[in-house]
């Protein structure tokens, strides 16, 4: 699959690279695995002088031996003598070389130094502070473990706090970009677009796997994803085990409940028979895996709130694969496929609401987008989009089957909402999947 999107990030990264011709620049590129961080960095530095390091779990001395070879490939042996057994020594060498000419250093999986030698971060900080202004090094630190990258660069107690000139959190592709990719492969079908959104959430690597294997229907997608050698079967565990550590079992239980529709804290605690407040807080603030949401007009201190998994693929994985892990262990993938098919319409109903929220956000017509409900989950409304500047509010009921949408009932449920915005003009919408085509012209 060719390179798509990321125009804003590319422009900013190229500007930083240009600025580094005068003095050092430090950039952090983070986001979850499979979102395309490395690919983006390679796109930016293509044709430019650069050194690329990948941090693996091995001794610092062995890593430095590899890095020294990479440096010699780029700069030759001139001025590079003997062995260097510490990363601080490697970094110092690169800072010295960058005094003569500007180039880019990319350090991938930078957070792994926590497992190898945590003092690396304070050593880098000292060297950077002493040499940044006289060295023309453009350094890009890439990291996949969100909690550690956040700690390294955004915790005020850490040595590299406030050292980065820019921190990018790379997000999945927009619905518009997914649609563009599918059209490039000859697919102009809103159902396939939605299925890709359901299963991949816009994650570039997952889209690449599906399109390169010509999985352009629900059956083809399931055939590729749900089998013994599929890269998706153990993906959720592979992504999160390092984040959660020894307590991953409890975190997984909470995420499984959220994926199955138990989105209120009280529901989770009733089932697990334990306090999950701390886990929810860490999942939101430390790991950025879930977020909490409130009715669109709720006050900041309102206790009306629910939780959701941000990542569509992880939501799917916990709902259908992790929940049926016994079937995975026994190799009964046909059973899992049947479970998905039987529950797909029900599951997709909620995902369709999120799909439309994203489409409304991508339209750039609204400054607030969300859902609405009242105490006790009464008068639930799927989508409310507000333009405070124009004093306009779009209120929509979202269903896979358009015939089941009742606009009169929607207006009745919105009576209190209408009363809160007497000066606003309301627009009432019934949205099924087929209506999504209107957003793409």
- Could you tell me if 142 and 217 lie in one domain? no
- Could you tell me if 321 and 394 lie in one domain? no
- Could you tell me if residue 65 is inside a domain? yes
- Could you tell me if 66 and 12 lie in one domain? yes
- Could you tell me if residue 102 is inside a domain? yes
Q: Has residue 140 got a pLDDT over 90?
A: yes
Average pLDDT for 151-177 = 94
- Could you tell me if residue 287 is inside a domain? yes
The confidence score (pLDDT) of residue 241 equals 87
Cα–Cα distances (Å) from 28 to 41, 114, 158, 275, in that order, read: 11, 16, 15, 35
- Could you tell me if 280 and 295 lie in one domain? yes
Last residue of a domain, one of 225, 260, 295: 225
Task: Supply the range of the domain harboring residue 190.
Answer: 175-225
Q: Has residue 81 got a pLDDT over 80?
A: no
The residues, ordered by sequence, that sit 6+ positions from 137 with a Cβ below 8 Å of its Cβ are 20, 24, 25, 94, 95, 98, 102, 103, 104, 105
Last residue of a domain, one of 153, 169, 185: 169
- Could you tell me if 141 and 32 lie in one domain? yes
- Could you tell me if residue 351 is inside a domain? no
Q: Report the alpha-carbon angle 311-316-320, nearest 5.
A: 155
Cα–Cα distances (Å) from 346 to 43, 103, 293, in that order, read: 40, 53, 21
- Could you tell me if 98 and 161 lie in one domain? yes
The residues, ordered by sequence, that sit 6+ positions from 368 with a Cβ below 8 Å of its Cβ are 296, 384, 385, 386, 388
CATH number of the domain at 93, please: 3.40.50.300
Q: Has residue 279 got a pLDDT over 90?
A: yes
- Could you tell me if residue 387 is inside a domain? yes
Dihedral through CA 31, CA 33, CA 39, CA 41, nearest 10? Answer: 40
Q: Distance (Å, rounded) from C-alpha 17 to C-alpha 38? A: 16
- If one counts every other C-beta atom within 10 angstroms of the C-beta of residue 192, the result is 21
- Could you tell me if 154 and 209 lie in one domain? no
- Could you tell me if 217 and 257 lie in one domain? no
- Could you tell me if 246 and 118 lie in one domain? no
The confidence score (pLDDT) of residue 441 equals 58
CATH number of the domain at 257, please: 1.10.10
Give residue-wise pLDDT tens across range 359-397. 999 999 999 999 999 988 899 999 999 999 999 999 999
- Could you tell me if 162 and 16 lie in one domain? yes
The counts of H helices and E strands in the chain are 20, 11
Average pLDDT for 81-91 = 91
Q: Distance (Å, rounded) from C-alpha 375 to C-alpha 303? A: 9
- Could you tell me if residue 393 is inside a domain? yes
- Could you tell me if residue 32 is inside a domain? yes
pTM above 0.85, yes or no: yes
- Could you tell me if 19 and 151 lie in one domain? yes
- Could you tell me if residue 188 is inside a domain? yes
Give residue-wise pLDDT tens across range 282-291. 999 888 899 9
Q: Has residue 128 got a pLDDT over 90?
A: yes
Last residue of a domain, one of 290, 316, 331: 331
Give residue-wise pLDDT tens across range 407-433. 999 999 999 999 999 999 999 999 999
- Could you tell me if 41 and 136 lie in one domain? yes
The count of structural domains within the chain is 4
- Report CA Rg, the chain: 25
Helix axes 333-362, 175-184, angle to 10 degrees: 110
The confidence score (pLDDT) of residue 61 equals 95
């Amino acid at each position: 699959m060719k390179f798509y999107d990321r125009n804003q990030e590319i422009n900013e990264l190229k500007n930083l690279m240009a600025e580094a011709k005068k003095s050092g620049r430090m950039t952090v590129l983070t986001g979850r695995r499979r979102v395309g961080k490395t690919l983006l960095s390679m796109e930016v530095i293509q044709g430019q002088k650069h050194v690329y390091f990948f941090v693996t779990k091995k001794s610092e001395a062995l890593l430095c031996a590899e890095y020294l070879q990479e440096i010699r490939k780029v700069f030759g042996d001139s001025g590079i003598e003997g062995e260097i057994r510490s990363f601080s020594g490697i970094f110092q060498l690169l800072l010295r070389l960058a005094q003569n000419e500007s180039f880019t250093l990319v350090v991938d999986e930078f957070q792994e130094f926590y497992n190898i030698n945590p003092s690396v971060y304070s050593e880098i900080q000292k060297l950077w502070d002493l040499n940044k202004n006289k060295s023309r090094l453009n350094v890009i630190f890439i990291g996949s473990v969100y909690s550690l990258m956040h700690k390294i660069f955004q915790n005020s107690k850490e040595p590299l706090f406030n050292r980065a000139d820019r921190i990018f959190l790379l997000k999945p592709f927009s619905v518009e970009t997914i649609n563009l990719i599918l059209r490039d492969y000859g697919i102009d079908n809103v159902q396939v677009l939605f299925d890709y959104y359901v299963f991949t959430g816009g994650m570039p690597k997952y889209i690449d796997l599906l399109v390169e294997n010509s999985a352009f229907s629900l059956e083809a997608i399931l055939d590729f994803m749900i089998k013994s050698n599929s890269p998706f079967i153990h993906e959720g565990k592979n992504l999160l085990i390092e984040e959660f550590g020894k307590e991953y079992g409890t975190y997984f239980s909470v995420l499984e409940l959220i994926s199955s529709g138990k989105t209120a804290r009280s529901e989770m605690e009733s089932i697990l028979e334990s306090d999950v407040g701390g886990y929810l807080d860490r999942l939101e603030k430390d790991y950025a895996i879930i977020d909490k949401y409130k009715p669109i007009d709720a006050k900041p201190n309102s206790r009306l709130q629910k939780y959701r998994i941000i990542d569509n693929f992880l939501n799917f994985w916990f709902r259908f694969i992790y929940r049926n892990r016994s079937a995975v262990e026994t190799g009964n993938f046909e059973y899992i496929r049947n479970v998905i098919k039987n529950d797909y319409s029900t599951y997709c109903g909620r995902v369709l609401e999120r799909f439309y929220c994203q489409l409304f956000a991508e339209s750039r017509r609204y400054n607030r987008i969300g859902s609405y409900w009242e105490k006790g989950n009464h008068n639930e409304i799927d989508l409310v989009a507000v333009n405070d500047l124009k004093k306009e509010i779009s209120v929509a009921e979202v269903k896979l089957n358009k015939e089941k949408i009742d606009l009169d009932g929607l207006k009745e449920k919105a009576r209190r909402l209408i009363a809160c915005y007497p000066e606003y003009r309301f627009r009432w919408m019934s949205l099924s999947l087929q209506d999504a085509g209107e957003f793409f012209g």
